[in-house]
Structures are given as structure tokens and as C-alpha cells.
Amino acid sequence: MSKAIKKILSTRPINELLVAEALSKNIEIDTLSFIETTPIETVEVQQEIELASNQIATVVFTSMNAVDAVTEMLDGFIPEWTIYCMGYATKELVKNYFGEHAVAGTADNASELAEEIIKNEEPDEVIFFCGNKRRDELPGKLKKQRIEVNEIVVYQTENTQHKISKIYDGILFFSPSAVESFFAVNKLPEYTVVFAIGQTTKETVSRFCKNRIVVSKLPGKDQLVEQAIAYSEW
């Protein structure tokens, strides 16, 4: 007797090879984005990035979107930056453009990244490339240490809310913003297992439901999908 198909919802697009791998293991993955990000390409932002690029500076990235937006504007120029970044995928993007030597420190969440910056050098100022919905943990901790945080908002995040009617055995969340967008119009059955990319996303989910939450063992987005596919209790 064949095993019943499990249904998972991913709240962002994922690698089609992983979708196929899941299906081969009787797991059906639907993808539906609950947020949309777009780079801010105004003259003002371009000038701020250009000004920053001419400085020897300590720079912070907490998302891939910020790295993409900034490197697009830099157009091949590599500044003399000491870079701190959050998450595996963001670190890989930083390394690919700026070089491995530019990465001074990494962490799995914003609070730990702030601690890493304070521990390593405690600079007078950092440049924080972020989105319009950035969280307070990192700038808050740095400011308490009297480190000036120069925030440059380089991308916009908009909620794209969808009311779902299908019942899912699992759901994948890759950011706090997507969690908030989803729960603005949806509830989960108590048996649905939630897979979260990190502790901050987990904490956001906990505000909306009491469901079981599995946090990714590794910070990559593909790794979270693989963990859901291999989940032992399906």
C-alpha cells in the first residue's frame, strides 16, 4: 500500500529540482509568495551607495536582497569595506562579489551579528544596507554601544497576501515578513508542521500559532526545503 501524499506550502519560490525530489518521495510542494521585494533605484539611493563606496567602512548586510541591490549599483566596483553579514546565502553573495577576505564576521540572526561586530572591533559607525521593513535588533544593540548606524534603505518589501483554502501538512517560512503576511489572512490547522529558516522567523511564527516549529539546522533556503523533505514524522 502506497504512502499517502503529504502536502507542503512554500511561501517563496524554490528550486524546481527540490520540488521534483519531494514528489519522488510522495511530498507535493506548492509555492506561493507572500512578500515581494524590489530594489529602490532612485538617484538619492544611488548617491548614498556611491558615497559609501568611496569610504573605508564597516558595512552590514542582513539579506540577499540588500546585497543584490547594492552590487547592482556598484556595477563591478569593489569598495574597501569590512563586511558583516547574516545567513549562509547572504554570505555567499558577499563572497562572490567582494571576495572572501572582505567578510569579517557572520551570524544566524541580527542580534548575534550585532554582538559579533561589537566583539570584533566596536567601530564608531557602521553602514547598514537594509529594506524598508528591517527589524530593530541589530541597530538597537549597536546604538546602545554608542556605535552610529547609518541606515541606507536599498529595497522595498511589500506584503502579497493570499487566502488559502487548501489544507497543508507543512509550511515553509523564510522571513518574518512572510510570516506576518500569511497570518494576516490565514490560520493553520493545529497539526500543520511549520518549518522556519531561523530563530527570528520562528519567534515571529510563535506570535501567531501554537503549532510545532522546526528550525532549519543550516541557514540556507535549499537546506530548509531538504529538511522538510527528510522530516522523519511524515
Same domain, 91 and 187: no
Q: Output the pLDDT for position 113.
A: 94
- In a domain? residue 137: yes
133-174: per-residue pLDDT in tens?
A: 888 899 999 999 999 999 999 999 999 999 999 999 999 999
Same domain, 48 and 124: yes
Start-to-end C-alpha separation, the chain? 16
Question: Could you give the maximum distance between any two Cα atoms of the chain, in Å?
Answer: 66
* pTM (global) more than 0.75: yes
Find, among 194, 191, 196, 154, the residue nearest to 175 by Cα: 196
Q: Output the pLDDT for position 232.
A: 77
Mean pLDDT value across residues 102-111: 91
Same domain, 98 and 166: no
- Range of weakest confidence among 28-32, 163-167, 228-232: 228-232
In DSSP notation, the chain reads -PPPPEEEEESS---HHHHHHHHHTTEEEEE--SEEEEE---HHHHHHHHHHHTS-EEEEE-SHHHHHHHHHHHTT----EEEEEESHHHHHHHHHHH-GGGEEEEESSHHHHHHHHHHHT--SEEEEEEETT--SHHHHHHHHTT-EEEEEEEEEEEE------S--SEEEE--HHHHHHHHTT----TTPEEEESSHHHHHHHHTT--S-EEE-SSS-HHHHHHHHHT-TT-
Same domain, 29 and 116: no
- End of a domain among 138, 157, 176? 157
Cα–Cα distance measured from residue 27 to residue 216, given in angstroms and rounded to the nearest whole number: 18
Same domain, 136 and 200: no
In which order are the strands placed within the sheet that holds 170-173? 27-31, 6-10, 170-173, 193-196, 213-215
- End of a domain among 157, 178, 198? 157
Range of the domain at 88: 38-157
- End of a domain among 157, 185, 204? 157
Same domain, 43 and 120: yes
117-126: per-residue pLDDT in tens?
A: 999 877 899 9
**pLDDT above 50 for 1:** no
Question: How many domains does the structure of the chain reveal?
Answer: 2
pLDDT averaged over every residue in the chain: 93
**Which of 71 and 2 is assigned the larger pLDDT?**
71
